[in-house]
Amino acid sequence: MKSIAELEEIRKKALDKMGVRTNTEGYRIVVGMATCGIAAGARPVMNAFMEELNKREVKNAAVTMTGCIGVCRLEPIVEVIDPTGNKTTYVKMTAEKAVRVVTEHIVNGRVCIDLTIGSEDKK
């Protein structure tokens, strides 16, 4: 049986890790999590973002959720807002694409153009 006392250990570990967190300014990853997003599979996408950020020890990115972004036919939709405030809207996301966005966009600063709403609308 798991017990709530196990949190004590996790707390200690987390405190150690938090010490190395350098700045609060960073990327914001916003996942659309309204009825349309959830039905289209936004939850696994959000999970993939959190897992990949943890795996790569990315400290300057936070994952949050929001309601309907307004283009339900393109869900799951994820907005990535960089530290300067520029917003990139990724559409028809999957867990695999989320991993790519973390690697290319969040870590290396290159927008995944082919996954954006702009490139989807040209199809």
Partner 1 sequence: MRDLSLHLMDIIQNSIVAMGTRIGVTIAANLKSNELKIIVADNGKGMDDDMIKKVTDPFITIRNTRKVGLGISLFKASAERSDGYLDITSKKGVGTTLEAVFKINNIDRPPLGDVADTIAGVLASNESLHLTLTLFRDDDMFSFDTVEVKRMLDGVPINEYEVLKWIKDYINEGINVTFGGVLNEINS
Binding region for partner 1 (CB under 8 A): 1-2, 4-8, 10-11, 13-15, 17-18, 33-36, 38-39, 43, 46-47, 50, 53-54, 63-65, 67-68, 70, 72
Q: Which one, 7 or 113, has the nearer CB to partner 1?
A: 7
Instruction: State residue 110 phi and psi, 5-degree precision.
Output: -105, 120
CB of 113 to partner 1, least distance (A): 26
CB of 21 to partner 1, least distance (A): 11
- CA 91, 94, 98, 99 torsion-angle sign: negative
The 10 Å CB-count burial string (b at 16+, else e) for 69-100 is beeeebbbbbbbebeeeeebbbbebebebbbb
Q: How far apart are CA 90 and CA 31, in angstroms?
A: 10
- For 107, residues 6+ apart whose C-beta sits below 8 A from its C-beta are 56, 58
Q: Which one, 66 or 114, has the nearer CB to partner 1?
A: 66
Q: Which one, 18 or 20, has the nearer CB to partner 1?
A: 18
CB of 99 to partner 1, least distance (A): 16
Asked if residue 86 lies in contact with residue 73, where contact means CB atoms within 8 angstroms, the answer is no
CB of 23 to partner 1, least distance (A): 16
Q: Which one, 67 or 118, has the nearer CB to partner 1?
A: 67
